[in-house]
Chains A and B, each alone.
Chain A
Amino acid sequence: MTAESVGSELTEPQRAAVELEQARATTRTAGSEHRRRSPLKRIAENWQLYLMLIPPIAYAVVFLYWPLYGLQIAFRNYNIVDGITGSPWVGLQYLQQFVTSYQFWPVLKNTLILNIYELFALFPLPVILALLLNSVRNAAYRRGVQLITYAPHFISTVVLVGMMVMLFSPNGGIVNQGIGLLGHSSVDFFASPTIFRNMYVWSGAWQTLGWSAIIYLAALAGVDPQLHEAAKMDGANILRRIWHIDFPAVIPVTITLLILNMGSMLSSGFEKVLLMQTPLNLSASEVLDTYTYRVGLASTVPQFSYATAIGLFRSVFALILLLLANWLARRVSRSNSLF
């Protein structure tokens, strides 16, 4: 029986279905044939795609991998004249020097306190903001809130710190004027180590809260509204619906982001800390990154090897944290882990 004779007996939609099935069969065989071919052939088939990949791969090799190769500076006594490979090996001398230095514990402590404070203070807030925004019925109000609260994300750290310096200035800043009206004497916000931590974390809230909520809003957009309606029919009030319907929907995203945040924990906010640093708050604001910068580049006698060793210490520490968080997430639920 030829295809035409079959076709003539079938109705129009049936014929379409048969054609579709035939087409699928063809692609299936094409697919399995595809899988059987040798890698070389498959690369040759798509050689243009590999051509496209050359510039980004070259970029990655030069600007992402070459610095990793340069990490060996930490184990050598680096000097510019001899270059990386010409400088003599010194083993773990610089790592040891850092770990045993009197700066080690204060700097590590500052880094951990600042980042843990930031993580715990700021991590739940975007989730709450997204849940609140999600239950707003008035579209214009919702859009207005989003438009305004996203905006600070696009402001640079220099501008943010500059604004803080002026708004919180002890002579004539608007905040201190308000404090003055309440009958208190003015506070020098950049001079106190304790205030430094609060300033750092809560200015971060001002800047990133709205933006961080986007990802949770996206997760909430995937919630089936019928779930809400059904729950409503069963007499669930809005708090119960948020707790039992919306909240579970954002949990997977929350865990993934928590892992990511833990991984980047030690490196976040370096530029802001550096800008907010004053000699008076140094006892709270000297973190691993600023210390690296200070001994490596800002000092009159730059100690490249020592600074690289500190940077390496930080990276290894960060990687361990990331793997640990990922392992934890996987224990909670397999699908939540990053890799």
Chain B
Amino acid sequence: MALTVARSATRSRRPPKTPRIPKARRIKDPAVDRGYQVVNYCVLGFFTVAVLYPLIYVFSSSVSSGYAIASGKVVLWPVGLNFEAYKTIFSSPHILIGLGNSIFYAVVGAMIGTALTILAAYPLSRKDLYGRRPLMFFLLIPTLFSAGIIPNYVVVQQLGLLNTRWAIVLPAAMTVFNVIITRTFYQLNIPDELLEAGKVDGASNLRFFLSIALPLSKPIIAVNMLFYAVGQWNSWFSAMIYLTNTDLYPLQLVLREVLTLGSVNPDQVGSMSAAEFAHRQDLFNKLRYALIVVAMLPPLIAYPFVQRHFVKGALIGSLK
């Protein structure tokens, strides 16, 4: 009470100012709105934590001591920090081969896929392409009706691709969905006027594509590269059915053996002796976490760089 009196006293003592025109006053939100915002922030926050927590937990476990994991001491942050699991991974020939193969499949797959997609999408974006609709439909039919595993397997077999790297890269090379996104990108970003101007200047279609359309395609090339690379990086099923040579296995397939089959071949995790058994059990626990981190890190690192492109241009147009 005394405080309010004092305050009003100070206020009244101030010299009267010249009346000011109030700045554009913000209308106060109704109570419902404020309540909604609180609930909204909480719900989104909860969901974000729920998504993030397993990722942090896996990462923490991969750098904790095997004992701490087994006894349940790792809850959020690493306990008994050590990087033994990573050292083991990067000294295991089996895993390194898988890593190398995955990089190969991702890079080659991304290049072939992006090239095919651009070559399909640019002509299909052109209004003056005769037979544009039938051609698009030609590409769309297989997405509506799939042949299934066996006919695909037979094709790979007949092409003589079984047990070669091409069996992984080629059948999954182009995705029609990406062609549609890319085509829409061209429709939105290369106006007819630009093409007319190019024609007036005497540029041929190829010339126009190479010196005008292609330089404008950087964002969509990045998006395609990411989609195809991530697709190849994450795939394992085609490798499982088309490959018997373990030297060609991608990392995901190596990972599957270690993770879901729950067994590990001693020579897969490096050297060990019988005396090291307890230690090995410990290490094996952690190794699975570390392998997960290694397998999921590259796409997670790559995607924020490309994120703004697909959020802005590509996906907005894809449904129009």
Q: Give me the interface of A with B, judged by CB distance under 8 Å.
A: 27, 34, 39, 42-43, 45-46, 48-53, 55-57, 59-60, 62-71, 73, 80, 83-84, 129, 132-133, 135-137, 141, 144-145, 147-152, 154-159, 161-163, 165-167, 172, 174, 177, 206, 209-210, 214-215, 217-218, 221, 232, 237-239, 253, 256, 263, 267, 271, 274-275, 289, 292-293, 296-297, 304, 307-308, 310-312, 314-315, 318-319, 322
Q: List 19 other contacts, CB 8 Å, given A57-B135, A209-B47, A319-B145.
A: A46-B130, A53-B123, A70-B152, A84-B154, A135-B37, A148-B48, A150-B307, A151-B303, A158-B255, A159-B255, A161-B259, A167-B54, A206-B54, A210-B51, A232-B27, A237-B36, A297-B149, A311-B149, A314-B148
Find residues 20-48 in chain B having any chain A CB closer than 8 Å to their own CB.
27, 29-30, 32-33, 36-37, 40-41, 43-45, 47-48
Could you list 30 examples of A-B contacts with CB < 8 Å? A52-B206, A56-B119, A63-B155, A64-B142, A66-B155, A67-B152, A68-B142, A129-B44, A135-B37, A137-B37, A145-B48, A147-B304, A148-B52, A150-B307, A154-B300, A155-B299, A158-B234, A158-B256, A162-B255, A166-B259, A206-B51, A210-B51, A215-B319, A256-B319, A275-B260, A297-B150, A297-B241, A307-B149, A310-B148, A311-B148
- Complex: how many Å from CA A289 to CA B237? 13
Contact B33 A296 (CB under 8 A): no
Cross-interface CB contact of A311 among B45, B47, B150, B260, cutoff 8 Å:
B150
Decide if A156 touches B296 in the complex (CB within 8 Å): yes
Chain B residues whose CB sits within 8 angstroms of the CB of A315 once the complex forms? 145-148
B116 is an interface residue with CB less than 8 A from chain A: yes
Residues of A within 8 A of B185 (CB): none
Q: Are B48 and A60 in contact (CB under 8 A)?
A: no
- Tell whether, in the assembled complex, residue B123 and residue A70 are in contact, meaning their CB atoms are under 8 Å apart: no
The chain B residue with its CB closest to the CB of A49 is B123
Residue contact A71 to B296, C-beta cutoff 8 Å: no
Known: A56-B174, A132-B40, A148-B48. A67 touches B128 (CB 8 A): no
Binds A, one of B5-13, B85-93, B268-276, B287-295: B287-295
Binary contact readout B111-138 vs A (1 if CB under 8 angstroms, 0 otherwise): 0000111011011101011110001001
